[in-house]
Amino acid sequence: MKLKGIMRKKVLLFACLIAGLVLISCNKKENYDTIIHNGMIYDGNGGEPFKADIGINADTIAFIGDLSNASGKNEVDAKGKAVAPGFIDTHSHHASNLFKHRDFIAAVCQGITTIIIGQDGGSSFPLSDFYKKLSDTTVAINIGSYSGHNTLRDSILGKDFKRFATQDEIDKMKTLLQQDMEAGAFGLSTGLEYDPGIYSNNDEILQLAKVVTPYGGRYISHIRSEDRYFWKAIDEIITIGKEAKIPVQVSHIKLAMHNIWGKADSLLALFNAARKNGIDITADIYPYAFWNSTIKVLFPDRNFNDEKEADSILKEITLPQDIILGSYEVNPEYAGKSLAEIAKLENKTPARMLVDLIARIDDWEKRNNRDCQENIMATSMDEADIKKLMQWPYTNICSDGSLSGTHPRGYGAFTRVLGKYVREEKALSLADAIHKMTGLSAQNMGIQKRGLIKTGYFADLVLFDPATVKDEATVAEPHKISEGVEKVWVNGKIVFQDKKTTELYPGKIIKRQ
């Protein structure tokens, strides 16, 4: 009996020991750097959201499921809130002056954790130097870049750019592009409505696009025209996708002229037909009916003195009261005023005024021997088109914005989609909108291991309130930070909370993979 009792005690002790060991090892497994409890998870795939906890270790999503018994060094209660992958801005100008503004407040306040730069044909050159600087001095968000055609063209042609490039010059551009591709560029970007790219022909672009093909690169384009030569420009980008056999993306897609309003269906039919033929064409879009650019973009034939041309621009593309000067270094007092107002002040017709404003820029540049700061915001898109283009299953959301820009998109594009287009107008479901800011964006850019809430993916996350999220930035106050975004993580670290940046800089360089 005594022996049996001792045996029983020993067995009991052994069992306790095993149980203890199991418990310890479980506890070990269930310790995380960060746990986000009880959030409604929108995983970026566009499907129905689900309730779960997320465990983060270092820069990675380690677990998704029930972590009610686990502990984390940092724990966040996300009850009643949405948790989504950090937003990816596929067309961003937020990186100008980035080493002075490492916290990227304009981007993170709207939930953006990754930006793609090198847009509209303009990039840091050579990219390898930029990446070196960026790895020495990190910033709050992740950054990837394209190689810009205008930058390459400028470094080969210099001031003599108002012509086609020779084959020798194209070959030199190809070599520079190859160097950027070796450094990790995502592909080639063009801005064919701008100098010097506007003077290139289709062949120059196609030859350069073919350089990125063997690298698995891509092509993104501010196409040659968003108004009067629109259909030709669309034909050009589809041809590039077909001939170079690479994915092509139309940047900030828009129908920006009155006589092409209502043609979103025809455009999407062209895109769908191209996709059926194996051309991987996609687009990004920002949620505003007005754009922001140089005033000169209104004259694709560069006939700035032609008052008749100015008159037709002011009838067909945008109205005098719908052009607002964002900045105008020639006469800073004109910033914030419409062309109609300025014309009235100077007692001129709006067409004459437009021609004069540009002539004064050229004068000013000659006198000061540098570029004049100037930009306009012009309303020339139609809401119905914006919605249709945004709803196309291959369109992702972008901002086209910048930190110090005069267009409110710099601080409010993504939150505007969530507030206006999702909650108020129900043009998109919340899950679909998030997909268009994350999973689809990563797919359209070829970004790996980001854009989804998935075990093993980088812990770029945004916690926001779907009931209150909205943009606050306006034309009058373009730098007001967005409402409803509560916390933003980049590579597992919080970079934004309580409406402030945290002065952490966990962003990484994203290279083509």
Give contact residues for Zn ion (rule: CB under 5 A).
120, 222
Question: Contact, 28 vs 71, CB < 8 A?
Answer: no
Q: What angle do CA 98, 407, 301 make, to 5 degrees?
A: 100
Phi, psi of 268 (to 5 degrees): -65, -30
3-class state of residue 404 by DSSP = coil
* Cis omega (within 30 of 0) for bond into 196: yes
**CB 236, min distance to Zn ion, A:** 15
**CB 191, min distance to Zn ion, A:** 6
Identity at 300, one-letter amino acid code: P
Q: Which is nearer to Zn ion, 142 or 221 (CB)?
A: 221
Q: Which is nearer to Zn ion, 284 or 460 (CB)?
A: 284
Question: Contact, 451 vs 483, CB < 8 A?
Answer: no
Question: Contact, 94 vs 107, CB < 8 A?
Answer: yes
Q: Which is nearer to Zn ion, 170 or 240 (CB)?
A: 240
Closest CA to 483 of 403, 405, 391, 420: 420
Cα 46 off chain centre by? 19
Angstrom distance (rounded) from CA 203 to CA 71: 60
**CB 278, min distance to Zn ion, A:** 27
**CB 106, min distance to Zn ion, A:** 17
Q: Which is nearer to Zn ion, 119 or 501 (CB)?
A: 119
**CB 176, min distance to Zn ion, A:** 21
Q: Which is nearer to Zn ion, 153 or 222 (CB)?
A: 222
Q: Which is nearer to Zn ion, 37 or 93 (CB)?
A: 93
| Cβ neighbour number for residue 308 with a 10 Å cutoff | 10
Q: Which is nearer to Zn ion, 188 or 330 (CB)?
A: 188
Q: Which is nearer to Zn ion, 120 or 227 (CB)?
A: 120
Handedness of CA 176, 178, 181, 182 (dihedral sign): negative
Q: Decide: residue 477, CB within 10 A, 0-12 exposed, 13-18 middle, 19+ buried.
A: exposed
Which are the contacts of 76, defined by CB distance < 8 A and separation ≥ 6?
Answer: 34, 35, 36, 37, 463, 487
Supply 436's token pair: 């268009």
User: In the complex, which residue's CB is closest to Zn ion?
Assistant: 222
**CB 120, min distance to Zn ion, A:** 4
Closest CA to 503 of 11, 13, 104: 104
**CB 421, min distance to Zn ion, A:** 21
Which are the contacts of 333, defined by CB distance < 8 A and separation ≥ 6?
Answer: none
**CB 222, min distance to Zn ion, A:** 4
